[in-house]
Structure 1
Amino acid sequence: MPKKTPDHGFILDRHDRAILRIVQRDNKIPQRSIAEQVNLSAAAVQRRIAALEAAGIIAANVAIVDPNAVSATITAIVEVHLKDERAATVDGAKALFRETAEVQQCFYVTGGISFILIIIAADMRSYEGLTRRLFAENELVESFRTLVALDRVKTDTAIVVP
């Protein structure tokens, strides 16, 4: 499903910002409860949430699954160095990383590294196979370095809404 481009002309007021802070913590909280917390009617909260979704400010409503509960025991942070930074090379890498389910997050970055990836894998054998496909056998990739997470200390997905 393609991401909706946010409407940058949408003006967030204090009520919208308060609603965003609440639904980022728990998007299943009843709208009447949100309404009480932000001093609006439930109908007004419903309209605002619908407008935030339509504007692309609320990009998705998802469930965050505990990786351990589904035996995804390896969390790897991977630095990827591309062979070059030409548009075709970067775009090809972005497309590959975007379509790979194990790549949970992908950042195109500056500072001598092309990409930082957060990858979840069931075990080291599956991670090794993934690294062969994504990096070792990929002519776009110059090199990569893996850091294996020992503990997922904080994996908050919420954006700080001022």
Structure 2
Amino acid sequence: MPNTFDEIDTGILTLLQQNGHLTHKDIGEKLNKSPSTIQERVRRLQKEGYIKGYVAIIDHHKVGLGLICFTHIKIKDHLHENLSRFAEEIVKFGEVQECFKVSGEFDFILRIAAPDLASYDDFLANVISKIVPLGNMYSTFVLQEVKTGGTLPIGMPKKQMV
């Protein structure tokens, strides 16, 4: 982290992770700083890329997306252009909540939301499998969400991170 990142920035990011609706005044009261100081720092944190954006965490069941699946994808032939094309294309689909390029046996892990198993199967067959030639693929279905929408442990001493 750059030298300009300090405890106030840590406090701002921690509070915004817990509640993205907090006003600059609310944050300032919690950190004993003026709203204008908080506003200036939030703008800087956004400009420097610490804050990438703001989202609402939606209950997927309530919007008809009852199936969450982690899909492990291995790209056939490991050609650079296939890996790059897959990464460029996969982010265009709303069903894909998250995509990670990973090391190990597979190349990508996707978090996919779908209404049901039939919709998920259709998405695999008619979308994912047509982006680039695939090698292996396997799916792990979520039975219960124990923790989601986690916050980053900003400023936590390393000995506490287990």
CA offsets 1:108-148 (integer angstroms, 9 cap, x no match): 00011111110000111211110102344454211210111
- Residue 150 of structure 1 aligns with which residue? 143
Q: Distance in 1 between matches of 2:132 and 2:110?
A: 18
Tell me the residue number matched to 1:126: 119
1:104 touches 1:119 (CA, 8 Å); kept in 2? yes
Give the distance between the partners of 1:76 and 1:98, measured in 2 at CA: 16
Gaps of 5+ in 2: 156-162
The secondary structure found in structure 2 opposite 1:53 is: helix
Please provide the CA RMSD for this pair.
Answer: 1.6
Instruction: State the Cα deviation string for residues 20-59 of structure 1 (Å, max 9, x = none).
Output: 0000110111222211211211110111111111222110
**Structure 1 gap ranges (5+):** 1-7
Determine the C-alpha separation between the residues in 2 that align with 1:138 and 1:146: 18
Q: CA deviation at 1:9?
A: 5.2
Structure 2 residue identity aligned to 1:141: L
Aligned to 2:101: 108
| Deviation of 1:157 (Å) | 3.8
Q: 1:5: which partner in 2?
A: none
- Say whether residues 1:43 and 2:43 are aligned partners: no
Deviations 1:69-106 (A, max 9, x none): 10100000111011022210111110121111100000
Match of residue 6 from structure 2: 13
Instruction: Tell me, yes or no, if the aligned pair for 2:68 and 2:113 is still in contact at 8 Å.
Output: yes
Q: Tell me, in whole angstroms, the C-alpha distance in 2 between the residues paired with 1:137 and 1:25.
A: 39
TM-score (norm 1): 0.89
- What is the TM-score with the length of structure 2 in the denominator? 0.89
Q: Work out the percentage of aligned pairs sharing the same amino acid.
A: 26
What SS does structure 2 have at the residue aligned with 1:16? Answer: helix
How many residues are matched?
155
Contact 1:76 1:148 in 2 (8 A): yes
Picking from 72, 78, 81, the partner of 1:85 is 78
C-alpha distance in 2, partners of 1:98/1:148? 20
Aligned residue type for 1:37: K
Aligned in 2, Cα 1:17/1:49: closer, same or farther, shift over 3 Å?
same
Counterpart for residue 61 of structure 1: 54
SS at match of 1:50: helix
CA distance in 2 between partners of 1:136 and 1:54 (Å): 37
